[in-house]
Structure 1
Amino acid sequence: MDGDLKVALVGNPNSGKSTLFNVLTGLNQKIGNFPGVTVEKKIGFVKLSDQRNAQITDLPGTYSIYPKSRDERIVMDALADKNSPDYPELIIFVADASNLKRNLLLFSQVADLQIPIIIALNMMDLAGQSGIEIAVDELAQKLGVQVIPISARKQQGIDRLKEAILNSTSIPLQLPSIEVEAIAPELIQKIQDELNIEHPYVALQLAHQYENMLFLSAEQKRKIQELNQEFGFHSQKSQASETIARYNFINDVLFDTVKIHSDPKRETHSNRIDKILTHRIFGFIIFFAILFLIFQSIFAWSEYPMSLIEQLFMWLTDMGTQILPPGLLTDLLIDGVLAGLSGVIIFIPQIAILFAFISILEDTGYMSRVTFMMDKIMRKVGLSGKSIVPLIGGFACAVPSIMSARNIESWKDRMITIMVTPLIACSARLPVYTLLISLVVPDEKVWGIINMQGIALMSLYVLSIVSAILVAWVMKLVIRSRERGYFIMELPVYRMPRWNNVLLTMYRSVKAFVFEAGKVIIAVSIILWVLSSFGPSDRFEKIEARYSSEAMKKQYPQDEIDRLQASEKLENSYAGMLGKSIEPAIRPIGFDWKIGIALITSFAAREVFVGTMATIYSVDGDDSHVESVREKMQSARNPDTGLPVFTTAVAFSLMMFYAFAMQCMSTIAVVYRETKSWKWPAIQFVYMTVLAYLASFIVYNLLK
């Protein structure tokens, strides 16, 4: 969309910035990374009129332009580099109307960068309920910018905001909040001259932050360092005096524009709820009750749609077998593509339910309370309260969660968080768990309401939390650092969830699962089908000769001959040879060579296990009747003993293996990117594999 107006959304955390982004852009969004860093950026597009569109970038939330974390550095980088493709022509500053004083500190800093700016005064409804009256027109006059009162959650004032964007000027009109040049006049002028910087406050920020500015060359950084030394520039003293000056300006502005009519001693609605939900005993009971409800719902509510999807794929397989001509291409489509696809689509209901609950917990403000409650526990195992954000995010996916650990200031806390986050049961493990649980845990209800399969699933998630905490405690003793972390977090007020936002989150999560995980699963399924269908020619020729002999035809019916031949071909295929090579190592934990193939292929992504099972048992199966993946695995028999392959011991051993093993290439890649070293991902891979093997060995030998 070349020629679009480039707009950046800037604001404090919990100001409603992301809500406004979703309201403005709807489904017209894409995810990427900022140039040169792995921080994720969200870009969306909004139609302003018949002639013009705006490209909106949602910048990370920050309280100040002086960054405390790697995420916050992105804000200054994006707003200071005029040559960047992300450099905005307009800033929409999202301010929380109920907490305007704190929000205006960041506004005054961003406004002094001299980029045209509009204030979206959000949460006006909540400000009114709290007895806060804002003279919007007078505020706009004092700041020299358009101020648009909105409620992003209720989608009020959005059309006025779009009009304001359309009518914005290309000239920054905002009034100065402080005299920037007075802070370090000679230094600022020298940096402006040397680096051809137009605005004084940008030059001052380069003096403060040059070491972390990605767009500066090594020579430019060296020059700024020399100038700082020449003029005796003291960054911390400069920041302190600047902040005092800004708050003096903000106090003057608010004195004339904001009136508070409520009783400051009156306890807020959120504080009254917090007395129960964050209680040191009842708070944890409520949290585990909510977890219990989530995992019960995942099984109970997904059962019907999953069985419909299962039947659909069985029907498609049956129709494909009847309509398509016999041959390699048909086998590839049915046993490779369709079998792999079924391993993706069937888990959509469960993924959607999980992310719906996560979205509701975040939207209501409850997830922040969980973070707050867990802070004391985290500190005892060598982490800070900020670590809980990546750990809870790990329930969805370890990759963005590890990236979110950047906001942890302490190197030690950050490293331990990165090292233990993959232990948290992510959504990729959900298809593996639910498939294996459905094989060996009876679908029965205790007291008529508590589903046994839901209890089993919840136990695996609780195990993942406990194991992450225990490993963190061990790493606290191993990793040495004198740094001390700190935990500062603003708790948002409780709100009703926005159901359109919940639906949007469900849609995005399912789309990511289907298209991102799905691509990997189907690609692996096709490769696996090739490896399973072909092998050394002399072996296949001997098998075909043996099973086409008259002696075999007299001994077995044709259906049984086909089944035995397919099974022996699979064992002698390239995939079979691969599985057989690792079978001695995995036999003590109850796995055969077919499961060995799944362990290897699912290293691409954990959920590939399901597609692998579907493909292996399709290749190995009997074409006389169509079965679902679950039924094929249930009917699988050990050729030596005649007993089921997936016994309770084997299924739980597999669950333990997937609970602990680092079966994800993406996670290894992101740990390397975040730590800038192969040492940490190597340590992580080794310790998680050892944990997985030991846990599987113990569980298998106890249950067998």
Structure 2
Amino acid sequence: MKVALVGNPNTGKSTLFNALTGLNQRVGNFPGVTVDKKVGACKLPDGRTAQIIDLPGTYSLYPKSKDESIVFEVLADRNNTAHPDIVVILADASNLKRNLLLYTQVADLKVPVVIALNMMDLARKAGTEIDIDALSAKLGIQIIPIAARQHENIDKLKEAIAFTSSIPLQLDTIEVESLAPGLISKIKNELLVDKPYTALQMAHQHENLHFLTSQQSDRIEELEQEFSFHSQKAQAAETIARFNFINDVLFDTVKHRDGAFEETLSNRIDKVLTHKVWGFIIFFGILFLIFQSIFAWSEYPMSLIEELFIWLGSTAHSLMPPGVFTDLVVDGILAGLSGVLVFIPQIAILFAFIAILEDTGYMSRVTFMMDKIMRKVGLSGKSVVPLIGGLACAVPSIMSTRNIENWKDRLITIMVTPLVSCSARLPIYTLLISLIVPDKKVFGVINMAGLVLMAMYILSIVSAIVVAWVMKLIIKSRERGYFIMELPVYRLPRWSNIGLTVVEKVKAFVFQAGKVIIAISIILWVLASYGPAAKMDAVEAKYNSPEVKAQYSGAELDRMKSSDKLENSYAGVLGKAIEPAIKPLGYDWKIGIALITSFAAREVFVGTMATIYSVDADDSHVESVREKMKNARNPETGALVFTVASAFSLMVFYAFAMQCMSTLAVVYRETKSWKWPIIQFVYMGVLAYVASLIVYQLLK
């Protein structure tokens, strides 16, 4: 049995989906489009397993975005793999009048329907009393009152799903045929459509429906002209008729207590949190708290992970026989792994904060507050969601731009979202900050490292806004954008959901980034351990000569020999080839190797540094990556490699450079052209080079 969840945004649909499916869920794509499809399995009381499909949130079957258009496609096309046997419509009990508009449209498609009436607790608090039995009788369907967040009555909903008739029993809502009588009957007869409302919706949406052939779409266009069909007028007439029906239904079934419309607590909180002055001060205060916490709370677990890998490296060296395999395990695999796992605490803290802000409803307020600022730079308030999502990862953020209706707004948002510092940049920033920023407190409480990290994130957001403003002037479009958003009520965060989100995000980071980093670490180890035979033989001959042996101690000889071998290895040759181009930025050939490898994914930088400095290190003393980099010196000048100038230059380079193949791939998928990803790669590369050059030359 296939069950589709349908509902307005902010009605708790995702919460209900999680309550029904638990961990038994997966994400794919709807056929023919790039819109995400969340599917899960749910055990019903009669022993059957239902497939639950979470359809995108929408206020109406008339779509305003790509995601919303999927709802009608799935419900109307019987050949669609996601076409349901039953539809569960999630309605907000505290806002029933508006939510029932979508119900009446879905009901008229004549698919079996159950209503899950959510947020009954909020309705009661607001003084709204709903006679569920009377409402159920008036509509002719089952209505189950639930509280999805508290898992209240979820079992009753499962029973309702199990025992819903496969024949639609809901009563008619409006006279659909009267809205376009001749046209509807013609479409029904010629395209073999059995439901009048499906035929009417096809008249409205035929140009964008994937299940219609181009010939069928052209024929509907001809019929519209024949019957002088005006889509907007028909839609307006339909909406009025539907609200008349809804008003009649609710008149006898919903009662409001006297004084029920007094100001809600959420509105009173919003007077402060969305204030034109205090709202922004509070928002920056929250950002400040997040970045302070990332450093303050993660230091201890990070030190434990570092010590664990130092112990593992020492143990491996003492237990395993000296040779190539031991070097590969310790300097390649373990060094690469440590570069990934040491940053788990910081990434977990960042994702936990983002999840809490979303779960409480505060993230919607940030979107609302930023709309006016965004309009001035050529974006809309809806662009804020992808930009803030970019703090986690640019890939899903770029995919989430589909709900921006205006083409120009959407394209600019796609082009600037990768400038926002994502979680892959966090390990680079924190590593470099720990090398150059002293572990001091300002005013005894404010962590200096946290301030620098916050500055890097603010730089990335400001740069995204500036680039968006420039693109607004370059990209021409007459289409006007608009911003409609519903602010959900404030809620306490669900800690189980926060925990689930953090675990999922950390898992994705470790396994997706981890696989790339381990693979590149092994390849790097090979490139750094082997080189052209003539060069390697020359190094061996040099350090075996009696003159050199007489000058240095055994430990010094080993250190110099391993350094020379690295410089003459294949990795060294590659790094030396690009060194002239990156020297003005303050980088040596070892950093050059990291710049090349991290084009696959930014976080590979840390693994590369770990591998390069492990190959270069003395086996008798195992250090953490941070210690190795802190002590690294230029062999020609003897100066430290990572100075304030070079480290800040490197952070700025990674803040701006497009070093993520996954992001380029998703930009191509969303724009259906290689033109925009190439422009994006070039402009971000030039911006990164010029900015880091200026930073290094000013600070050195």
Distance 2:484 2:455 in 1: 31
Q: What CA distance in whole angstroms lies between the structure 1 residues aligned with 2:64 and 2:460?
A: 30
C-alpha distance in structure 2 between counterparts of 1:566 and 1:188, whole Å: 81
Instruction: After TM superposition, give the deviation of residue 435 of structure 1 in Å.
Output: 0.7
- Contact 1:27-1:504 at 8 Å conserved across structures: no
Aligned to 1:309: 305
Alignment partners' CA distance in 2, 1:371 and 1:200? 39
Structure 2's unaligned 5+ residue stretches are none
CA distance in structure 1 between the aligned counterparts of 2:694 and 2:140, rounded to whole angstroms? 69
1:580 to 576, 579, 589: 576
Structure 1: give runs of 5+ residues left out of the alignment: none
Q: Residue by residue, what CA displacement relative to the aligned partner does 1:366-423 show, whole Å, maximum 9, x if unpaired?
A: 1111111111111111211111111111111111111111211222211211111111
2 CA distance for matches of 1:111 and 1:324? 70
Aligned partners of 2:138 and 2:308: how far apart in 1? 64
Shift of 1:187: 2.8
What is the TM-score with the length of structure 1 in the denominator? 0.97
Q: Which of the residues 121, 130, 134 maps onto 2:130?
A: 134
Partner residue, 2:565? 569
Is 2:97 the counterpart of 1:101? yes
CA distance in 1 between counterparts of 2:211 and 2:89 reads 24
Tell me if the contact between 1:15 and 1:94 (Cα under 8 Å) persists in the aligned partners: yes
Aligned to 2:667: 671
CA shift, 1:559, in A, is 2.9
Asked if the contact 2:128–2:260 (Cα under 8 Å) also holds between the matched residues in 1, the reply is no
Deviation at 1:560, TM superposition (A): 2.7
- SS of 2:122's equivalent in the other structure is helix
Distance in 1 separating the partners of 2:605 and 2:121: 49
- How far the C-alpha of 1:537 sits from its partner, in A, is 2.4
Please give the residue correspondences for 1:228-239 in structure 2 after superposition, counting only pairs within 5 Å.
228-239=224-235
Which residue in 1 is equivalent to 2:143?
147
SS in 2 for 1:27: coil
Calculate the aligned-residue CA RMSD, in Å.
1.6
Match of 2:470 in 1: 474
Matched AA of 2:304: L
User: How much does 1:572 deviate?
Assistant: 2.1
CA distance in 1, matches of 2:489, 2:17: 20
1:268 to 260, 264, 280: 264
Deviation per CA, 1:614-652, whole angstroms, max 9, x where unpaired? 111112221112111111111111111111111111111
1:692 matched residue in structure 2? 688
2:493 counterpart residue number:
497
Q: Does 1:602 align with 2:592?
A: no
- What TM-score, normalized to structure 2? 0.97
**What amino acid sits opposite 2:70 in the alignment?**
I
Note if contact 2:521-2:607 (Cα within 8 Å) is conserved in structure 1: yes
- CA deviations over 1:320-361 (Å, ceiling 9, x no partner): 222223333332222222221111111111111111111111
Residue type at the aligned position of 1:168: T
Q: For 1:664-694, what per-residue CA distance to the aligned partner results, in whole angstroms no more than 9, with x for missing partners?
A: 1111111111111222112211111111112
* 1:220–1:641 CA distance, 2 compared to 1 (3 A): same
The aligned residue for residue 55 of structure 2 is: 59
Per the alignment, do residues 620 and 282 of structure 1 end up closer, same or farther by CA in structure 2, a change over 3 Å counting?
A: same
Match of 2:461 among 465, 482, 502: 465
Aligned residues of 2:652 and 2:692 also touching (Cα < 8 A): yes
Q: Partners in 2 of 1:268 and 1:457 — Cα distance?
A: 38
CA distance in 1, matches of 2:104, 2:664: 41
Match of 1:680 in 2: 676
Contact kept in structure 2, 1:30 and 1:43, CA below 8 Å: yes
**2:5 aligned with 1:39:** no
- 2:429 maps to a residue whose letter is Y
In structure 1, C-alpha distance between the alignment counterparts of 2:648 and 2:521, rounded to whole Å: 24
Identity %: 73
**Structure 2 residue identity aligned to 1:142:** K
**Counterpart contact for 2:46–2:162, Cα < 8 Å:** no
* 1:200-599 equivalent positions in 2, closer than 5 A: 200-263=196-259, 265-599=261-595
Q: Given the superposition, is the C-alpha separation of residues 559 and 192 from structure 1 closer, same or farther in structure 2, using an over 3 Å criterion?
A: farther
Contact 1:132 1:262 in 2 (8 A): no
1:262 CA drift (Å)? 4.4
Instruction: Out of 226-235 and 336-345, give the one that drifted further.
Output: 226-235
Question: Which of 6, 24, 38 is equivalent to 1:10?
Answer: 6
Bigger mean CA deviation after superposition, 111-120 or 372-381: 111-120
* SS of equivalent residue, structure 1 residue 540: helix
Please, which moves more after superposition, 145-154 or 257-266?
257-266
Counterpart Cα distance in 2 of 1:231 and 1:328: 81
Residues 101-138 of structure 1 deviation map (CA, whole Å, 9 limit, x = unaligned): 11111111112222222111110001100001111111
Deviation for aligned residue 1:49: 4.2
Looking at structure 1, the residues matched to 185 and 562 of structure 2 have their Cα atoms a distance apart, in angstroms, of 80
The one-letter code matched in structure 2 to 1:88 is P
> Secondary structure of the equivalent of 1:119?
strand
The reply on whether 1:20 has 2:9 as its aligned counterpart is no
Distance 1:31 1:322 in 2: 45
SS in 2 for 1:57: strand
Matched residue pairs, number? 700
Distance 1:218 1:576, change over 3 A: farther
Partner of 2:60, secondary structure, is coil
Which deviates more from structure 2 when the two are superposed, residues 151-160 or residues 216-225?
216-225
Secondary structure of 2:477's aligned partner? coil
Residue by residue, what CA displacement relative to the aligned partner does 1:11-51 show, whole Å, maximum 9, x if unpaired?
11111111111222222222222222222222222222483
Distance (whole Å) between structure 2 residues aligned to residue 530 and residue 437 of structure 1: 29
Mapped to 2, the partners of 1:564 and 1:650 lie a distance apart of 24
User: Does the 8 Å CA contact 1:533/1:570 hold for their aligned counterparts?
Assistant: yes
CA distance in 1, matches of 2:597, 2:99: 50
Report the Cα offset of residue 310 of structure 1.
1.1
1:59-98 matches, within 5 Å, as: 59-98=55-94
Distance change >3 Å, CA 527–CA 82, structure 1 → 2: farther
Quote the offset at 1:264 in angstroms: 5.2
Matched, 1:616 2:612: yes
Which residue, 643, 648, 655 being the options, matches 2:651?
Answer: 655
